[in-house]
Structure 1
């Protein structure tokens, strides 16, 4: 029984890196300057309407999308309800507009390819077409 338990634990831990990779988020951009790299705070500012050193436009996935939930948790650090409340307040006061939302991950790639300066987020491991670059990765 002890050997069986040990083998099961080894088996489960052997899949940990692939599970972690599936939960990683990449931030992808269509920019003329392929050397742009952002830090976590800059990415958060970009998607929450803060000041940015570059002329970039954020796009987001719908609230129920799993990738968006991971992005909000790992980068923004707020729940979806808090983010929705923030954007409602910004719209009401006329100060900022929420990022444009697209349907799914394939729509993110299509939008990025056709709009220079656009930035979106995807799960790590998503094939990135030529012309786009990864500007931030979070595990």
Structure 2
């Protein structure tokens, strides 16, 4: 069972929302992680330094949290090959869905984008089905 951490979750959600709002307000861009990542992998986007700085912040923030005495419990209950398969499937979904959970679920829904509402509902349904099948049908 996953540990329930309402205050850490609320704090993280506020920081994600603040970062998304600031990125849109200051740069006119959606803070979708796969879109940002896509611009720092060759061929580089013209604004790749901005994208690299955003990604560096996303990596540095948890590191700073841990150095300040916080802890991030992390456990993966499945084998590495299954993680790789899952990552591949998610990559296909991100490509055909024109975005990821941060782009659609956080930014798109905040902008009341109908496409993002459909995409986020699709992500969530796929998640529920995947967890049910892997845990209760396959017993993984």
Which entry has the higher C-alpha Rg, 1 or 2?
A: 1
Question: TM-score, normalized by length of structure 1?
Answer: 0.25
Q: Looking at secondary structure, tell me which structure has more helix per residue.
A: 2
Greater RCO (Cα-Cα under 8 Å, separation 6 or more): 1
Question: TM-score, normalized by length of structure 2?
Answer: 0.25
